[in-house]
Chains A and B, each alone.
Chain A
Amino acid sequence: MLSLSVSGQSWLHKSPTPLKLIVLCVATFMLFSLQNWLDALLALVVVCGLYLSIGWSFAKIGIERLKPLIWMILVIMLYHLLTSRIEEGVVISLRLCAAIGLATLITMTTRLDAMMKVVDWLAEPVYKLGLPRRTLGLASALVIRFTPVFIERGTKLSDAWKMRSTKRPNHRLLVPLSLAVLDDADRVAEALKARGGLSSIKAGAESSKSAQTKDQRTKL
Chain B
Amino acid sequence: MERNLVFIALFAALIAALGLIPKIDLASGVPITAQSLGIMLAGTVLGAKRGALAVLLFLALVALGLPLLAGGRGGLGLFASPTAGFLVGFPVAAFVAGLIMKQWQHSNIALVATVAAVIGGIIVLYIFGIIGLSITLDKSLMESTLLMTPFLIGDAIKAVITGLVTQAIAKARPEFLFSRA
A interface residues (Cβ-Cβ under 8 A, vs B): 1-5, 24, 28, 32, 65-66, 68, 72, 76, 79, 88, 91-92, 96, 99-104, 106-108, 110, 112, 115-116, 119, 132, 135, 138-140, 142-151, 153-155, 158, 167-171, 173-175, 177-179, 181-186, 188-189, 192-193, 197-198
Contact = CB atoms under 8 A, between A and B. Distances in A.
B154 interface: no
Contacts of B57: 139-140, 143
SS of B interface (majority): helix
B24 A169 contact: yes
Contact of B10 (A68, A96, A142): A142
A58 to B, nearest CB: 15
Interface of B: 1-3, 5-14, 16-18, 20-22, 24-27, 29, 31, 34, 37, 41, 45, 57-58, 60-61, 64-68, 73-82, 135-138, 147, 161, 164-165, 168-169, 172-173, 176
B76 A106 contact: yes
B11 A181 contact: yes
B162 to A, nearest CB: 9
Given A3-B64, A100-B81, A135-B5, 13 more contacts: A1-B66, A92-B138, A106-B76, A107-B74, A138-B5, A143-B12, A151-B20, A174-B165, A178-B14, A183-B173, A189-B7, A192-B6, A198-B1
Contacts of A151: 17, 20-21
Contact of A171 (B11, B26, B176): B26
**Max count, chain A CB within 10 A of own CB: residue among B6, B26, B37, B169:** B6
B2 A107 contact: no
B65 A168 contact: no
Nearest to B28: A170
Contacts of A66: 77
B74 A182 contact: no
A181 B13 contact: yes
A69 to B, nearest CB: 8
